[in-house]
Amino acid sequence: MNILDKIIADKRNEVALRKQLIPVSQLEQSVLFERTSPSLAEALKASNSGIIAEHKRRSPSKQVINHNLNVQDVAQGYENAGACGMSVLTDGKYFGGSLDDLLLARASSSFPLLRKEFMIDEYQILEAKAYGADVILLIAAVLSRSEIKSLSESAKFLGMDVLLEVHNLEELQKSMMPSLDMLGVNNRNLKTFEVSLDISKSLSEEIPNEFVKVSESGISNIEAITELKPYGYQGFLIGENFMKTDNPGQSAEAFIEELK
C-alpha cells in the first residue's frame, strides 16, 4: 500500500466519524454557509503573478516544515502580499492541519481560500463551505469520473470554485467536465514524491482553454514560473517555499515583487 492509499483509507474512517459527530444540518447553520464565495479562478485570470500561497505545517515527504506560525498571521501576510488566494491544509494526521485553520484564516482575510484536503465525500464539501472555504480541491488519482462529477457539481451548487488535480494524461482525460473551474497539474509524483516541471509542460497542450491552468509543487523560484507561463499557466501553488521561512507573508511579498 503506497502513502496515498494509506491516506485515503484513513480519510474514509475519519469522515465516517465526523459525520457521526456533526450532522449536516449543523454545518448548514454555520454563519459562513450563506456567504458568497469570491472566485479564485477569476482572481487568477486577472492577476499578473497568479500566486496561490499555502499554509502547510508538515508533509509525509518533508516531515516538519514549520510548526511555529499563527495561521491568522500567515493569511493576513499572504493577502497583504498580493497573493490571489490561500490554500489551507486541513488534514491532521499527515499534514498537521485542521478545519480550525480554515476558520482562523477566514476570520483574518477576505481573499479566496482553498480547502486542501483529500476529498472523497460530499460531506467534506459542506464542511468546507461551513468553515469559510471558497474553493475545493479534487484529486483525480483517488476519484472515479462519476465521483469527480458528483463532488464538483455539489461544490458548484454551493457557489464554490473547483480545482481538479491531475498527475498524468490518463487522469486528465477521465476528468475534464464543465463543473470544473481550474485544472491543476501536480509536478510531484504521489507514489515516489519526485518533482519535475516537465509534467506541467507535457500536459499543458491537453488542457482546453476554458479551464484555468494551475501548476502545483516544486515551484520554488521565479525561473520556474517564467518557464511555465508560455505553456498557458495562470496559477502557481507555492507552499513550502514561503512556509519554511519565519515570515511567509514577507517571503510571498518579496517573491511577488520580483515576479513583477
* Identified catalytic residue from 154, 175, 200, 217: 217
C-alpha span between 131 and 105 (Å, rounded):
10
Residue of 37, 79, 116, 171 marked active site = 116
Catalytic residue (choose from 37, 39, 54, 240): 54
Q: Active site residue: 11, 39, 56, 200, which one? A: 56
Catalytic-role residue among 79, 117, 127, 165: 165
Residue 66 CB neighbours (<10 A): 18
Taking the C-alpha atoms of residue 111 and residue 134, their distance in angstroms, rounded to an integer, is 9
Taking 3-state DSSP, the helix, strand and coil percentages for the chain, each rounded to the nearest 5, stand at 45, 20, 40
Does 11 participate in catalysis according to the annotation? Answer: no
186 a catalytic residue: yes
Active-site residue, from 175, 186, 187, 215: 186
Instruction: Give CA–CA dist 39/1, Å, rounded.
Output: 37
In the chain the beta strands, taken as DSSP E runs, fall at 51-55, 58-59, 63-64, 85-89, 113-116, 135-139, 161-166, 182-186, 212-216, 233-238
Which three three-digit cell numbers place residue 23? Answer: 450532522
Tell me if residue 165 is catalytic.
yes
Selecting among 79, 127, 171, 216, the annotated active-site residue is 216
Annotation marks residue 116 as catalytic: yes
Spell out the residues 6+ positions from residue 220 whose beta carbon is closer than 8 angstroms to its own. 238, 240, 241
Active site residue 217: yes
Residue 216 known to be catalytic? yes
* C-beta separation of 157 from 184 below 8 A: no
Q: Which residues are catalytic?
A: 54, 56, 116, 165, 186, 216-217
